[in-house]
Amino acid sequence: MRKSLGVVLAVVPVLAALVVTAPGASAAATTLKAGASAKGRVFGAAVAANRLGESAYVTTLNREFNQATPENEMKWDATEPNRGQFTYGNADRVVNHARGQGMAVRGHTLVWHSQLPGWVSNIGSGSELLSVMRNHISNVAGRYRGQIAYWDVVNEAFADGTSGARRSTVFQQRIGNGYIEEAFRAARTADPSAKLCYNDYNTDGQNAKSTAVYNMVRDFKARGVPIDCVGFQAHLSTGSVPGDIQANLQRFANLGVDVHITELDIGGSGTSQADAYARVIRACLAVSRCNAITVWGVTDKYSWRASQTPLLFDGNYNKKPAYNSVLSVLNS
């Protein structure tokens, strides 16, 4: 009798533990990457090579994220500052760190009008610029062939406002409309295993700019131009999360491309910031082809918009209410 009571008492805590964990089967995730993985997504951050020496930065990055986007290190001014001279030191630093941690890498970005060296902007001939662009893509995407999950092949090629026009960049002016598809073709040749994305901002909701991008993607799919995904940067503030973000992601997904939140940050603080983050994450989770979410930095203190404290960790790497909100949506 005494012996069986002992057995019963010993079993009670085990049963209690089973009851607590049984209904949802698995326990709630305690990191962003685990929460996202359980939902079949990756959760990334923009990573700056020159912060990889800071231990709290690295600890937070490695613990929470399973995808890295080099914040500046793969841009044209960093990789081909002079014509035909390729420099990969900082890009390699980010790629090697990420791959050493088992993180996916999102390449950013092959063709963009900003952070573009003067020697490129000064090319006057369309045929010369086209061959320079192809050579740049062939070298940069070729160097990381097989190591990049997604490339932002062309970034921010559409104008703001209601025109739906292409942005008047040097590529658009000299080469004309064809430069975007030529960039995608060159990227496919350089790295056939990378998924190729078009990336832009102010395209998160349905508006003239996102519709112009939509029409381009539809045309590319119809004509067999190699495009696999569309990135929605989602640089937002608490008042500016579009109410139709889910519908917008879904209409792109319906074209047969994956959709990614690529540079998420939301200016604000406290509950309103937490709620805004939750709305974006929920919208992505509601779209099955929305399979990657990236925040544009690890900590507020190094954000490009630091004064707006737009990220999930504060300057001391403490989890903000926005972090808890994102994690709880991922766990929901």
104 vs 330, beta carbon nearer ligand G2I: 104
154 vs 327, beta carbon nearer ligand G2I: 154
117 vs 126, beta carbon nearer ligand G2I: 117
- List the structure tokens of 118: 């003067």
CA distance 184 to 32: 31
20 neighbors 27 (Cβ within 8 angstroms)? no
Which residues are catalytically annotated?
Answer: 156, 263
Minimum CB separation of residue 142 from ligand G2I in Å reads 21
CA distance 14 to 25: 15
CA distance 88 to 298: 22
Minimum CB separation of residue 262 from ligand G2I in Å reads 8
If you search the block for the tokens 């910031």, which residue do you land on?
A: 273
CA distance 49 to 219: 37
Minimum CB separation of residue 310 from ligand G2I in Å reads 11
If you search the block for the tokens 């320079």, which residue do you land on?
A: 132
172 vs 233, beta carbon nearer ligand G2I: 233
**CA gyration radius, the chain:** 22
212 neighbors 172 (Cβ within 8 angstroms)? no
60 vs 329, beta carbon nearer ligand G2I: 60
Residue nearest to ligand G2I (CB): 304
DSSP single-letter state for residue 82:
B
Minimum CB separation of residue 156 from ligand G2I in Å reads 6
Which residues lie near ligand G2I (CB under 6 A)? 71-72, 114-115, 155, 201, 233, 263, 304
CA distances from 78 to 93, 262, 270 (A): 13, 20, 36
Minimum CB separation of residue 316 from ligand G2I in Å reads 21
Least Cα distance to 154 among 94, 207, 193, 113 occurs for: 113
